[in-house]
């Protein structure tokens, strides 16, 4: 059985699945229940400056009957008294010495405020501190959260104030609401951060109710921007994780990164690990389905690691990173085409419509010859299967550019696959090509001449 234990910046846990700082980690009683289900760690809901929360606090994104594909929140940090939180943190760590108990903190940007809260956190016996530089709503207007994370100089300074006075590992939680995620990461590392975590929530307005004309969530007839999270943000989180872990300065520092953003299943978590995360955090999925989801996460990840021959989390972490390239490094000569399995096709024609209207017009509807019966989706008359003469979508492979739109819109798994085919084009990347023939990047005449040489026809 694979060993799922992790040592993240000196913080040990029995598995890489940690609850993120959020409503699921609001109290000791909640975290106690979570640990009973098997969570390897928890980041306590952010403590610090006094706040008052509002209601309604959440707006949800639902599409085609799928609930909570994303959540928008306008909730602030913990509104429970500081002394109550500190007491419960100490109690949880006493009851669960093998679990990672990390305390998220956010205070005014001053060395005095940070010293006070850090000393209080140290007294609880917690394993580490996560500095919340990410919240985009409410706290940022008070000069905290994203207001710190979006300004590298403030990020470095606040981090230094903490790392210079504590013996605990310090994790800096980065905001995604920046142009380049590497800049605050460099600042956090310069400030002495022992680890990074990302992403925090994305600034957003969830929706407008077309009946009431009110922004949602509706707070007494008014609305505001909030933090966007959930399954829909996973690709953004994976991209930012990749940006960090392919950055020379971050790699040279050796600081580990805890990944989060849209993790629902063990498969999601495995993707973060493969792109270099040393542990992962989960929030929205726990809010949607409860703490018990971690049981499937542990079983699923362990079984997959066994199947792949991975013995430890360290064996998994970063295994996909060598594939990461810039566009200029990709092979221009590689060619793939779409192929449709007629035995799986339900003849919905979505592939045809998508290709014909919005892609490269290389799928035809060919009249059925009356000779085949679709085994999975029989055409029936009076209860009897008859020959299916409906039009069949067929790809004209010489005209297919391999965009894969059809494969992505097809509702049947495995019906349309992208197949690598031999190419007559030169196997060269854009960077190498334009280094050899720089005029191709600036002259359409030169570009068309190269295409003619290579037999490239854009129809």
The pLDDT assigned to 377 comes to 45
Give the tens place of pLDDT for each residue, 250-263: 999 999 999 999 99
Q: What is the 3-state secondary structure (H, E, C) of 420-448?
A: ECCCCCCCCEHHHHHHHCHHHHCCHHHHH
Residue 135 annotated in active site: yes
Query: Of these residues, 135, 258, 355, 410, which one is catalytic?
Result: 135
The pLDDT assigned to 384 comes to 66
The pLDDT assigned to 372 comes to 43
How far is 374 from 431, CA to CA, in rounded Å? Answer: 48
Q: Report whether pLDDT(370) > 60.
A: no
Strand pairing class (226-229; 257-260): unpaired
SS3 172: strand
The pLDDT assigned to 111 comes to 97
Give the tens place of pLDDT for each residue, 192-228: 999 999 999 999 999 999 999 999 999 999 999 999 9
The pLDDT assigned to 1 comes to 86
Q: Report whether pLDDT(380) > 60.
A: no
Percent of the residues in the chain that have a pLDDT greater than 90, as a whole number: 91
What does the pLDDT average to over 321-333? 96
Strand pairing class (379-381; 363-366): unpaired
Q: Report whether pLDDT(179) > 70.
A: yes
Mean pLDDT of the chain: 94
What is the pLDDT confidence band of residue 459, given thresholds at 50, 70 and 90? confident
Q: What is the 3-state secondary structure (H, E, C) of 185-236?
A: HHHHHHCCCCEEEECCCEEECCEECCCCCCEECCECCECCCEEEECHHHHHH
Domains of the chain (ranges; CATH) run 6-323 (3.20.20.70), 327-431 (3.30.70.20)
In DSSP notation, 242-271 reads: HHHHT-HHHHHHT--EEEESS--SHHHHHH
What does the pLDDT average to over 358-366? 95
What does the pLDDT average to over 21-45? 98
How far is 17 from 13, CA to CA, in rounded Å? Answer: 9
Give the tens place of pLDDT for each residue, 7-17: 999 999 999 99
Give the tens place of pLDDT for each residue, 36-57: 999 999 999 999 999 999 999 9
Q: Report whether pLDDT(247) > 80.
A: yes
The pLDDT assigned to 352 comes to 96
Q: Report whether pLDDT(375) > 50.
A: no
357 CB-near residues (< 8 Å, 6+ apart): none
Give the tens place of pLDDT for each residue, 114-162: 999 999 999 999 999 999 999 898 899 899 999 999 999 999 999 999 9
What does the pLDDT average to over 321-344? 96
How far is 152 from 49, CA to CA, in rounded Å? Answer: 22
The pLDDT assigned to 159 comes to 98
Q: Report whether pLDDT(389) > 80.
A: no
Residues in a beta bridge with 43: 102
How far is 365 from 333, CA to CA, in rounded Å? Answer: 29
What is the pLDDT confidence band of residue 190, given thresholds at 50, 70 and 90? very high
Looking at residue 174, the DSSP 8-state letter turns out to be P
Contact 388, 373 (CB under 8 A): yes
Q: Report whether pLDDT(374) > 50.
A: no
Nearest CA to 261 among 155, 359, 176, 388?
A: 176
What does the pLDDT average to over 369-375? 45
How far is 388 from 380, CA to CA, in rounded Å? Answer: 9
Contact 196, 279 (CB under 8 A): no
Per-residue burial over 75-91, b = 16 or more CB atoms within 10 Å of its CB, e = otherwise: bbbbeeeeeebbebbbb
Nearest CA to 17 among 267, 199, 209?
A: 267
The pLDDT assigned to 382 comes to 63
The pLDDT assigned to 369 comes to 56
For 5, left (φ over 0), alpha (ψ -120 to 50), or beta?
Answer: beta
353 CB-near residues (< 8 Å, 6+ apart): none
Q: Report whether pLDDT(367) > 90.
A: no
Q: Report whether pLDDT(387) > 80.
A: no
Q: For the whole model, what pTM was predicted?
A: 0.93
Percent of the residues in the chain that have a pLDDT greater than 70, as a whole number: 95
How far is 120 from 27, CA to CA, in rounded Å? Answer: 17
What is the pLDDT confidence band of residue 289, given thresholds at 50, 70 and 90? very high
What does the pLDDT average to over 24-47? 98
Omega before residue 121 within 30° of 0, cis: no
Omega before residue 199 within 30° of 0, cis: yes
CA angle 326, 329, 332 (to 5 degrees): 120
What is the pLDDT confidence band of residue 232, given thresholds at 50, 70 and 90? very high
The pLDDT assigned to 378 comes to 53
């Amino acid at each position: 059985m694979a060993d799922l234990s992790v040592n993240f910046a000196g913080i040990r846990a029995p598995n890489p699945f940690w609850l993120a700082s959020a409503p699921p980690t609001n109290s000791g009683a909640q975290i106690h229940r979570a640990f009973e289900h098997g969570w390897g760690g928890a980041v306590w809901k952010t403590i610090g400056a006094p706040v008052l929360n509002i209601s309604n606090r959440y707006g949800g994104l639902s599409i085609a009957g799928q609930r909570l594909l994303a959540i928008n929140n306008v909730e602030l940090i913990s509104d429970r008294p500081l002394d109550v939180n500190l007491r419960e943190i100490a109690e949880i760590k006493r009851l669960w010495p093998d679990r990672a108990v990390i305390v998220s903190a956010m205070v005014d940007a001053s060395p005095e405020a940070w010293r006070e809260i850090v000393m209080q956190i140290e007294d609880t016996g917690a394993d580490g501190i996560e500095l919340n530089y990410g919240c985009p709503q409410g706290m940022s207007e008070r000069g905290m959260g994203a207001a710190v994370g979006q300004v590298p100089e403030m990020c470095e300074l606040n981090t230094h104030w903490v790392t210079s006075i504590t013996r605990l590992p310090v994790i800096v939680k980065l905001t995604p609401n920046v142009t380049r995620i590497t800049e605050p990461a460099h600042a956090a590392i310069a400030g002495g951060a022992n680890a990074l975590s990302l992403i925090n929530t994305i600034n957003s307005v969830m929706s407008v109710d077309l009946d009431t004309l009110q922004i949602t969530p509706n707070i007494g007839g008014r609305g505001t921007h909030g933090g966007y999270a959930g399954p829909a943000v996973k690709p953004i989180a994976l991209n930012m994780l990749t940006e960090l872990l392919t950055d020379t300065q971050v790699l040279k520092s050796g600081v580990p990164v805890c990944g989060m953003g849209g993790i629902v299943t063990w498969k999601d978590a495995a993707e973060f690990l493969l792109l270099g995360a040393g542990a992962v955090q989960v929030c929205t999925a726990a809010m949607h389905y409860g703490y018990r989801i971690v049981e499937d996460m542990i079983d699923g990840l362990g079984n997959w690691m066994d199947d792949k021959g991975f013995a430890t989390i360290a064996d998994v972490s970063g295994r996909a990173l060598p594939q990461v390239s810039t566009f200029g490094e990709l092979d221009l000569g590689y060619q793939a085409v779409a192929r449709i399995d007629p035995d799986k096709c339900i003849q919905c024609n979505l592939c045809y419509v998508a290709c014909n209207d919005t892609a490269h017009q290389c799928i035809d509807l060919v009249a059925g010859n009356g000779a085949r019966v679709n085994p999975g989706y029989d055409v029936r008359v009076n209860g009897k299967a008859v020959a299916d003469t409906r039009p069949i979508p067929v790809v004209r492979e010489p005209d297919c550019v391999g965009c894969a739109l059809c494969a992505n819109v097809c509702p049947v798994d495995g019906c349309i696959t992208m197949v690598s085919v031999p190419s007559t084009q030169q196997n060269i990347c854009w960077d190498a090509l334009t280094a050899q023939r720089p005029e191709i990047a600036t002259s359409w005449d030169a570009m068309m001449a190269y295409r003619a040489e290579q037999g490239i026809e854009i129809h």
